Amino acid sequence: MTQNQKPLVKGFKCRIYPTKEQKDYLQKVFGSARFIYNHLLAELKDEYENYKKDQSIQRTPINKISLAYKLPSLKQKEEYQWLNDAPAQVLQHASGQLAEAFLRFFKSKIGYPRFKSKHGRQSVTFSNQIYSIDGNRLKLLKCKSLFKVKLHRALPSSGLKSCTVSKTPSGKYYASFLCEYIPEKTSGTGFLGIDAGITDLATLSNGLILLNPKHYVKQQYRLAQLSRRLTRKQKGSKNRNKARLKVARLHDHIANQRCDYMHKFTTSVIRENQAVAIENLQIRNMIKNRRLSKHIADAAWGEMRQQLAYKAIASQNCLLVIADPYYPSTQLCHRCNTKPSQKIKLGVTKWVCEYCGEKHQRDHNASLNLEVLARSYYYQQKRNGEIASIILAKPYSPLI
């Protein structure tokens, strides 16, 4: 198999329509997996508290194998016999998720694992040994009937891995199939720089501007109206559940609008270009601005970068360059590559270079500088004979 034919792993998400009996089955599986995760997390926390008091106590190693060994003895207890109604591999995957969560915490020292709630999104993962799909019918282990699946496109004939079944707060059910597939190589020839913003979602170096649709801002009055109605309902009543579903469905609608808009933009960018450069924005820090946090979150810059990244890998022809956070794309003149003697303030949208006299529009000039960065890394990679889809640009130095 050649380099161009190397298979990739991709998720295909489809809507499923379970019957009442199938919903009851999924509810039991969701609850069993959540119980395993929370029970093992509580045990590990108690072990650590006891270990701090007496360091001679032996602790359980935190890895997938050691946590999976706890499941058989737990399922044999009389009060936990209902765990046998769920497939064993699903429960093993839940314990593996806890092990991975701890490993991420030990590596980054942030994000200590938290207990899962029965409210909100629920999901479980079935391995390829305990599920099968035939046409538009899905078979899950220990479920007597077949699930109806709405396939928007055909799944790869081979290379099926896992299937994750999820339930959203709005009551919709989805199945995500992880598959190996051979992507089609794109044939783009252009170079593009993308400067993200709020007023305009993106300013491109080719002169085009992507307008910000502001999906959340347009729906926030309706969302506030439905939220007020929800707070007036009596807790535990059927009317409250109906009002909760209306709020959840509106949130789903906003998220779907935003995701669809971003998919159409990123797909066209990757197909038409062989090198693209974007800014590495520190979104976590920027969103702390209480005046702009709503608009920054609605712009979904992180989603844009994520989609560009995995689509660049799948294209096998497009290079994505992620600029250094301190790369002065706004402060540099794209024509003479010099910085002005005084820093350009945030409110300035147009300025003139004091060295070459070039007139600049702030965002377009930044995108042109990013395009120069994309070109330089692309040709450098081509000279070195390297094959990569994503490059983190080196820290900026005016001497380079």
- Residue 173: predicted pLDDT: 97
Residues with a catalytic annotation lie at 195, 279, 363
- Helix, strand or coil for residue 76? helix
- Residue 396: predicted pLDDT: 67
Q: Please say whether the beta carbons of 394 and 324 come within 8 A.
A: yes
- Residue 1: predicted pLDDT: 41
- Residue 220: predicted pLDDT: 95
Instruction: Determine whether 394 is exposed, middle or buried from the number of CB atoms within 10 Å of its CB (0-12, 13-18, 19+).
Output: exposed
- Residue 2: predicted pLDDT: 46
pTM exceeds cut of 0.85: yes
Q: Please say whether the beta carbons of 33 and 86 come within 8 A.
A: yes
Per CATH, the number for 190-212+257-392 is 3.30.420
pLDDT in tens, 296-353: 999 999 999 999 999 999 998 899 999 988 888 888 888 888 888 888 888 888 888 8
Of 214, 216, 194, the C-alpha closest to 205 is 194
Where helices occur in 300-353 by DSSP H, the ranges are 301-315
- What span, in angstroms and rounded, lies between the C-alpha atoms of 249 and 239? 15
> Could you tell me the mean pLDDT of each successive run of 10 residues in the chain, 400 residues long?
66 95 96 97 93 85 93 93 95 96 92 93 95 93 95 85 95 95 88 94 94 95 97 95 96 96 96 94 89 94 94 92 89 86 85 85 92 92 83 68
User: Where do the structural domains in the chain lie, given as residue ranges?
Assistant: 3-181, 190-212+257-392
